[in-house]
């Protein structure tokens, strides 16, 4: 077997030496040394510069946000209350006035009469919809009566037309200046339950659910209340949920406070829905359990704003002895009691418990919680979709009531002023092409959620829930990566799964990171060793520019091979297109004016000379490879379908021209799997067709299957090592399968060499968050599971038995040197009753919850989190009020961490 393997290795190496042209391309780069410079990436300088640029951008937005918040407070302060005001007396644009709702029974629904203003809308290029710049829009939740006493909407000034200021008030108005609300509201094909109070923008409290002598609708409302309240929690919160009658017990497998992240909240929600009502209620058991949870937590965070929330349909016990034991006289834990459902009992005990412990007792079926604190900076890493802007990051500041005639109420939080910043605006500040195909910039918050990362690719546009991706889920989890976010940098080996790839590689990377000042973010740079240096073209010879540019023209493809160019924004006026032929035509039409019609250097529409000149340089260099190597060879003799070269400059040249018809790789080399893997691995990388869920095997008789074989071109210039290109061939699988049979047809004594004991291949499961469709009434995110196979490099061979009774088979596996191939020889099947399993890599939807979630919370991932707490202010006035938390004194720039069951 080892003899056969060596024969195959030699055959592959021979073909690549003849057709790959690695040595020849290396020589071409050296000959054209005067046409480019070798530049260096200095990680620390890059990180500091980009962090500073992002800080400046966000600081500008914060200044605008402060002006908006101050303006809202001034408008509220100047507002005079009117006792007899009617809905028709208020002029505003109701964004839901013209909303169409689909009735589930197909019956026509009578539309509610509305006094909403009739506005004219004009198309906006940024938001890709119709907007009105003269009026703000108001969204009122479905369950709120429009004639209720609501504060007038504050006037808003829009700082830019690509930014969306918005203001959700404590009475559930959502006022925005630009889309999505300055357009008619887009209603779902179901009941519109959108309510800004349930959004996680203001951090909310933590809960201890109560289940006892409740049943029917009340129990359902209680579950819904807890469910919705969990949605208001952020990752800075720690929570547990318990039910109690005579005794208290957690509703889930969590025995202590756990981080209120997405995975843990999913567990809570599922288990809360499974609660049943039985027995009678003992408040003492519930509160003692809750206080014990708070006292025995070992959370190394700010330990701030401890709260207990009890949901009940009523009771008479005040459990004063419990409060005296655990909470008085300092009252460090706030108690909130929620009266759920319709009933006739006396709510005085519930009011007393809340008022005696600095809490409140609303009568509500859906809890809408006030804001108990604010972050160090206003920025939240909850990425949401805004039409036209894509993903946005939201900055928020609380808006306070400054009415002078009610001095003791001057800290009532009216709502939260917010402003959205498009993630694309932040991405523009980060380097891309000089980092190479596998270098990238990322940003994370204190809880490890990514703001920027190449694997942050949500699949559903306009998904209503925030998009969150943990850094350790965005990459293969590694203990070293838990250090990311702390000041410094490091170099280590790690597993790497490139975006849009189905293969794991063991690679070495330099991680460098630094904080983005005045925010909760850290910025990181990941750089492979071969991307320390990069090429920058220096095409000062205008005649040479024109000559190389002509090799991009389609009339040269028949003799020089087809050229795909990376669909980049080479200039502002260039229209991007998914069709590379169309994009090339657009590029030639625009660039040809400069290169072929004018002697001056081309900079139309503020072009990017770095991208443009590198593209033109690589066009000429790959054309020389065609002339020196490919044109003189007969591909059919070696059963090759095509030869190709791809470069950092964005050129992919495929020869002959007709082979481009079957070329299915990404036109952007940085996004092509074969390109990225070739850079990270020595030798030859084989890339077969992707096997999806509908794979039925290769039909070699009716189809020609092409296998890509590629390798990187490594240059050493003045002691500086870099990899500017990848070359390869496309094999005819059917012909090469026959060739393998011929190579293995002769048996020798060496065929009998025994297999050595080795470690079996590792099976890796990659869990990553993506947005998925749901058949449920509400949109949800889901976890997709993909099988990954990684063959360890510790040993080159191993053998095993496929057990199937009397039909068991022995197989041997040998890794082919200098490739990513595994050569497998197996016994011939003795019978047909043994089932075979296809090794597929198609993503499948994982179970709703990780089966190991209960064990994982005992070994939580490192999370820095906030460490400063503003949980007390002497001006807080809660004595004698059942809604005292509304006067909670909270500085707008404090850092908040919550804890409580």
Residue range 216-369+866-900, CATH number: 3.40.50.410
Residue 257: CA count within 13 A, CB half-sphere: 30
Per-residue confidence (pLDDT) for residue 555, from 0 to 100: 93
| Percent residues over pLDDT 70 in the chain | 68
Per-residue confidence (pLDDT) for residue 745, from 0 to 100: 66
Per-residue confidence (pLDDT) for residue 664, from 0 to 100: 92
Residues 772, 782: Cα–Cα separation, whole Å: 6
Per-residue confidence (pLDDT) for residue 442, from 0 to 100: 94
pLDDT at 88 over 50: yes
pLDDT at 624 over 90: yes
Residues 640, 630: Cα–Cα separation, whole Å: 12
Given pLDDT bands bounded at 50, 70 and 90, which one contains residue 780? low
Per-residue confidence (pLDDT) for residue 574, from 0 to 100: 85
Residues 869, 897: Cα–Cα separation, whole Å: 7
Given pLDDT bands bounded at 50, 70 and 90, which one contains residue 195? low
Per-residue confidence (pLDDT) for residue 853, from 0 to 100: 74
Residue range 423-533, CATH number: 3.30.450
Per-residue confidence (pLDDT) for residue 776, from 0 to 100: 37
The backbone torsions φ and ψ at residue 302, rounded to the nearest 5 degrees and listed phi first, read -70, -20
Residue 95, burial from CB neighbour count under 10 angstroms (0-12, 13-18, 19+)? buried
List the structure tokens of 514: 């630094």
> Coil, helix or strand for 544?
helix
**Pairwise pLDDT comparison (346 vs 455), residue with the higher score:** 455
Of 591, 537, 723, 576, give the one whose Cα is nearest residue 647.
723
pLDDT digits (tens, 9 = 90+) for 247-293: 899 999 898 999 888 888 988 998 998 888 777 778 999 999 999 99
User: Which of 71-75, 192-196, 440-444, 892-896 is predicted with the least confidence, judged by mean pLDDT?
Assistant: 892-896
Q: How much is the average pLDDT of 217-232?
A: 84
pLDDT digits (tens, 9 = 90+) for 852-871: 777 777 777 777 766 666 66
584's enclosing H/E stretch is helix 580-595
Q: How much is the average pLDDT of 513-524?
A: 90
**Pairwise pLDDT comparison (527 vs 298), residue with the higher score:** 527
Residues 230, 260: Cα–Cα separation, whole Å: 8
pLDDT at 405 over 50: yes
Q: How much is the average pLDDT of 706-726?
A: 96
Residues 48, 12: Cα–Cα separation, whole Å: 45
Domain ranges within the chain, ordered by starting residue: 20-39+535-750, 52-197, 216-369+866-900, 423-533
Highest mean pLDDT (candidates 105-109, 211-215, 442-446): 442-446
Write the DSSP string, 457-475.
Answer: --SSTT-SS-B--BHHHHS
Q: What is the largest CA-CA distance in the chain?
A: 104
**Residues 167, 418: contact at Cβ < 8 Å?**
yes
User: Which of 107-111, 339-343, 452-456, 498-502 is predicted with the least confidence, judged by mean pLDDT?
Assistant: 107-111
Q: CA 551 → CA 212, 564, 605, distances in Å?
A: 79, 12, 23
Per-residue confidence (pLDDT) for residue 144, from 0 to 100: 56
pLDDT digits (tens, 9 = 90+) for 656-682: 999 999 999 999 999 999 999 999 999
Write the DSSP string, 373-414.
Answer: ---SSSEEEEEEEETTTEEEEEEEEEEE---TT-GGGTT-EE
Residues 237, 253: Cα–Cα separation, whole Å: 18
Given pLDDT bands bounded at 50, 70 and 90, which one contains residue 608? low
Residue 33 burial (CB count, 10 A)? 12
User: Which of 191-200, 375-384, 414-423, 832-841 is predicted with the least confidence, judged by mean pLDDT?
Assistant: 191-200
Write the DSSP string, 703-721.
Answer: -PPEEEEEEEEEEEETTEE
720's enclosing H/E stretch is strand 720-732
DSSP code, position 330: T
Of 707, 699, 846, give the one whose Cα is nearest residue 783.
846
Query: ∠ at Cα 58 (56, 61), nearest 5°?
Result: 115
Residues 68, 65: Cα–Cα separation, whole Å: 5
Per-residue confidence (pLDDT) for residue 81, from 0 to 100: 74
Residues 755, 1: Cα–Cα separation, whole Å: 9
Q: CA 689 → CA 104, 652, 664, distances in Å?
A: 44, 19, 10
Residues 182, 624: Cα–Cα separation, whole Å: 56
pLDDT digits (tens, 9 = 90+) for 309-344: 998 877 788 999 999 999 999 888 999 888 877 666
Query: ∠ at Cα 200 (198, 202), nearest 5°?
Result: 100
Highest mean pLDDT (candidates 150-154, 213-217, 605-609): 213-217
List the structure tokens of 458: 């949500």
List the structure tokens of 890: 């909270």
Q: CA 118 → CA 91, 167, 276, 889, distances in Å?
A: 10, 22, 50, 41
Looking at the DSSP assignment, which residues form a beta bridge with residue 588? none
User: Which residue do the tokens 């005639």 mark?
Assistant: 405
List the structure tokens of 802: 């496929």
Given pLDDT bands bounded at 50, 70 and 90, which one contains residue 504? confident
Q: CA 549 → CA 539, 596, 618, distances in Å?
A: 12, 9, 10
List the structure tokens of 754: 């025994």
Residues 356, 785: Cα–Cα separation, whole Å: 49
pLDDT at 155 over 50: no
pLDDT at 565 over 50: yes
Q: How far apart are the first and last CA of the chain?
A: 63
Question: 60 CB contacts (<8 Å, ≥6 apart)?
Answer: none
Q: Does residue 258 have a cis bond before it (omega within 30 degrees)?
A: no
Q: How much is the average pLDDT of 225-244?
A: 87
Per-residue confidence (pLDDT) for residue 653, from 0 to 100: 98
């Amino acid at each position: 077997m080892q003899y056969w393997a060596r024969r195959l290795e030699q055959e592959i190496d021979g073909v690549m030496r003849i057709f790959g042209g690695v040595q020849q391309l290396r020589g071409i780069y050296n000959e054209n040394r005067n046409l480019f410079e070798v530049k260096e990436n200095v990680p620390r300088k890059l990180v500091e510069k980009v962090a500073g640029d992002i800080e400046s951008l966000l600081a500008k937005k914060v200044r605008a946000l402060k002006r908006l918040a101050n303006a809202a407070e001034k408008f509220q302060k100047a507002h005079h209350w009117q006792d007899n005001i009617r809905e028709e007396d208020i002029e505003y644009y109701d964004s839901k006035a013209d909303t169409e709702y689909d009735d589930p029974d197909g019956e026509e629904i009578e539309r509610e009469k509305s006094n909403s203003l009739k506005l004219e809308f004009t198309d906006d290029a940024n938001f890709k919809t119709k907007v009105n710049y003269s009026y703000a829009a108001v969204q009122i939740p479905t369950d709120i009566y429009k004639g209720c006493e609501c504060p007038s909407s504050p006037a808003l000034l829009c700082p830019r037309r690509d930014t969306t200021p918005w203001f959700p008030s404590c009475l559930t108005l959502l006022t925005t200046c630009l889309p999505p609300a300055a357009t008619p509201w887009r209603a779902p094909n179901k009941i519109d339950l959108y309510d800004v109070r349930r959004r996680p923008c203001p951090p909310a409290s933590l809960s201890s659910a109560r289940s006892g002598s409740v049943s029917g609708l009340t129990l359902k409302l209680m579950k819904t209340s807890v469910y919705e309240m969990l949605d208001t929690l952020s990752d800075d919160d720690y929570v547990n949920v318990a039910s109690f009658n005579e005794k208290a017990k957690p509703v889930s497998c969590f025995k202590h406070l756990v981080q209120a992240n997405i995975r843990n909240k999913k567990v809570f929600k599922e288990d809360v829905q499974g609660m049943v009502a039985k027995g009678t209620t003992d408040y003492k058991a519930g509160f003692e359990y809750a206080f014990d949870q708070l006292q025995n937590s070992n959370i190394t965070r700010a330990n701030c704003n401890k709260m207990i929330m009890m949901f009940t349909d009523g009771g008479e016990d005040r459990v004063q002895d419990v409060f005296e034991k655990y909470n008085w006289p300092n009252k460090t834990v706030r108690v909130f009691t929620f009266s759920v459902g319709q009933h006739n009992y006396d709510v005085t005990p519930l009011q007393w418990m809340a008022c005696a412990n600095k809490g409140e007792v609303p009568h509500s079926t859906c809890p809408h919680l006030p804001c108990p604190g604010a972050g160090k900076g206003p920025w939240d890493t909850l990425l949401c979709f805004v039409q036209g802007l894509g993903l946005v990051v939201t900055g928020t500041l609380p808006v306070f009531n400054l009415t002078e005639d009610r001095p003791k109420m001057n800290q009532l939080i009216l709502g939260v002023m917010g402003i959205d910043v498009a993630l694309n605006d932040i991405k523009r500040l980060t380097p891309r092409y000089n980092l190479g195909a596998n270098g990238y910039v990322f940003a994370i918050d204190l809880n490890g959620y990514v703001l920027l990362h190449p694997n942050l690719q949500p699949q559903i546009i306009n998904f209503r829930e925030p998009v969150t991706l943990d850094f350790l889920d965005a990459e293969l989890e590694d203990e070293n990566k838990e250090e990311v976010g702390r000041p410094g940098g490091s170099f280590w080996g790690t597993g790497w799964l490139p975006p849009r790839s189905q293969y794991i590689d063991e690679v070495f990377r330099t991680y460098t990171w630094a904080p983005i000042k005045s925010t909760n973010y850290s910025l990181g740079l990941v750089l492979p060793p071969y991307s320390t240096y990069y090429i920058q073209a220096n095409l000062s010879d205008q005649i040479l520019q024109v000559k190389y540019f002509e090799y991009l023209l389609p009339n040269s493809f028949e003799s020089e091979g087809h050229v795909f160019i990376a669909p980049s924004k080479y200039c502002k006026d260039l229209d991007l297109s998914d069709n590379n032929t169309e994009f090339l035509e657009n590029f030639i039409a625009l660039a040809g004016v400069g290169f072929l019609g004018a002697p001056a250097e081309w900079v139309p529409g503020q072009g990017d000379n770095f991208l443009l000149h590198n593209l033109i340089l690589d066009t000429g260099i790959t054309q020389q490879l065609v002339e020196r190597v490919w044109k003189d060879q007969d591909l059919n003799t070696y059963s090759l379908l095509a030869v190709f070269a791809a470069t950092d400059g964005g050129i992919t040249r495929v020869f002959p021209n007709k082979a481009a018809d079957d070329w299915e790789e990404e036109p952007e080399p940085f996004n092509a799997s074969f390109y990225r893997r070739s850079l990270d691995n020595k030798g030859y990388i084989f890339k077969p067709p992707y096997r999806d869920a509908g794979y039925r095997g290769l039909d070699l008789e009716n189809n020609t299957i092409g296998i890509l074989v590629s390798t990187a071109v490594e240059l050493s210039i003045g002691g500086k090592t870099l990899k500017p290109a990848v070359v390869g061939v496309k094999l005819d699988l059917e012909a090469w399968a026959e060739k393998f049979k011929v190579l293995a047809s002769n048996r020798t004594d060496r065929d009998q060499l025994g297999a050595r004991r080795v470690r079996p291949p590792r099976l890796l499961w990659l869990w990553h968050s993506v947005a998925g469709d749901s058949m449920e009434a509400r949109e949800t995110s889901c976890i997709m599971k993909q099988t990954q196979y990684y063959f360890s490099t510790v040993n080159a061979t191993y053998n095993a038995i496929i057990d199937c009774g009397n039909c068991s088979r022995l197989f041997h596996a040998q890794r082919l040197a200098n490739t990513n191939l595994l050569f497998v020889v197996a016994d011939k099947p003795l019978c047909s009753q043994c089932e075979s399993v296809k090794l597929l890599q198609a993503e499948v939807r994982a179970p709703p919850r990780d089966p190991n979630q209960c064990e994982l919370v005992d070994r939580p991932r490192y999370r820095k989190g906030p460490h400063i707490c503003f949980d007390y202010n002497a001006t807080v006035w809660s004595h004698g009020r059942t809604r005292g938390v509304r006067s909670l004194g909270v500085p707008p720039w404090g850092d908040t961490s919550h804890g409580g069951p």
